[in-house]
């Protein structure tokens, strides 16, 4: 039973990856209201979590092609750079930030490290 669930999940990860990508685009370009609680630089944590999730979903979508993992992570980092540029140029309520790009990259690289651990332990093969 668990093997069937694992196979079903892994075979449909592309849908989750596309949904995650679209969610990041929308959340990055729309105006969000504040929560009222201000913690300095908490948005950097949010960026890292978002790009960790983005990279993880794409990595697991292509788990049968581990040779593509570096291309996937590089694509996620480039995607983050493009989003930051779009925030600077398309919106008046958002700003692009190099520290955000670093937080995005950190999340994507962390996803690669964890994905490699999964491959090493053969948990997803």
Locus of tokens 């490699």 = 116
pLDDT tens track for 16-43: 999 999 999 999 888 877 666 677 778 8
pLDDT tens track for 41-91: 788 999 999 999 999 999 989 988 889 999 999 999 999 999 999 998 888
**pLDDT score recorded for residue 34:** 64
Statement: the pTM of the whole predicted model exceeds 0.75: yes
Q: Sorting pLDDT into bands at 50, 70 and 90, what band is 1?
A: low
Distance of CA 70 to the CA centre of its chain: 14
Q: 55 near 73, Cβ under 8 Å?
A: yes
């Amino acid at each position: 039973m668990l093997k069937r669930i694992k196979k079903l999940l892994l075979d449909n990860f592309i849908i989750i990856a596309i949904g995650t990508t679209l969610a990041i685009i929308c959340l990055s370009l729309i105006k969000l209201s504040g929560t009222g609680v201000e913690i300095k630089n908490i948005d950097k944590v949010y960026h890292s979590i978002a790009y960790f999730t983005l990279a993880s979903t794409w990595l697991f979508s292509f788990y049968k092609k581990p040779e593509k993992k570096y291309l996937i992570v590089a694509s996620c980092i480039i995607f983050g750079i493009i989003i930051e540029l779009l925030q600077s140029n398309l919106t008046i309520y958002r700003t692009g930030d190099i520290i955000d790009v670093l937080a995005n990259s950190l999340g994507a690289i962390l996803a690669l490290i964890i994905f490699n651990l999964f491959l090493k332990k053969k948990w997803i093969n």
